[in-house]
Amino acid sequence: MRNKQISILFILILVLTACTSKEKTNEHLGEIYSIALDAMMEKDQALNSEMEFIAINMSTMKELSSKDKEEIIEFFEGKYGVEVMDADLEKLKEQGLYDSEKIAIRGVLLSFETVIFKYNNTVVFEGSKYHSALGAIGVEITVHFKDGKWQIKEAKETWVS
């Protein structure tokens, strides 16, 4: 009887361990954020026309290390061939990159308002892509770990201005 209980306990531990094994998101944050931000860039590409820069508001991305932030900036500079910076709208105004007459910037500003790390190797991002008061979108992007890599599960627009 005791051997049977030990066997059941051992099997239960194995099953629970197998079910909870997952890819460690904190080791891939730069990659995960880059994928989500790039999915945002793909939405409403008219906002990208004549863009001189990409600003990414990283002030809300508290879990990112400086190395993760550098990884994201390098990825975007390589892919889009424009200057990429860590800035919010206020900083862009201070740098003279905001046209108050047109209520627009000469690039795009990417921001995440909410990031939810789920238990099943899934991260849900809610944010916005801004070019002007009349040219902005809200997005919801889901990134998950599948087939050995982080990838987009879903990316959709949630609002348009």
pLDDT per residue as tens digits for the range 98-125: 999 999 999 999 999 999 999 889 999 9
Q: For residues 73, 105, 110 and 44, what is the CA-based torsion angle, rounded to 10 degrees? A: -110
| Confidence (pLDDT) at 27 | 87
Of the candidates 45, 34, 31, 37, which has an alpha carbon nearest to the alpha carbon of residue 128?
A: 37
Q: What is the pLDDT of residue 112?
A: 98
**What is the end-to-end Cα distance of the chain in Å, rounded?**
68
pLDDT in tens, 9-50: 444 444 444 444 446 778 899 999 999 999 999 999 999 999
* DSSP letter assigned to residue 69: H
Measure Cα distances from 79 to 54, 74, 104 in Å: 11, 9, 23
Burial class (CB in 10 A: 0-12, 13-18, 19+), 63: exposed
Q: Are 31 and 62 in contact (CB under 8 A)?
A: no
> What does the block give as tokens for 22?
């997952």
For CA atoms 64, 70, 71, 75, the dihedral sign is positive
pLDDT of residue 3: 55
Q: What is the pLDDT of residue 6?
A: 47
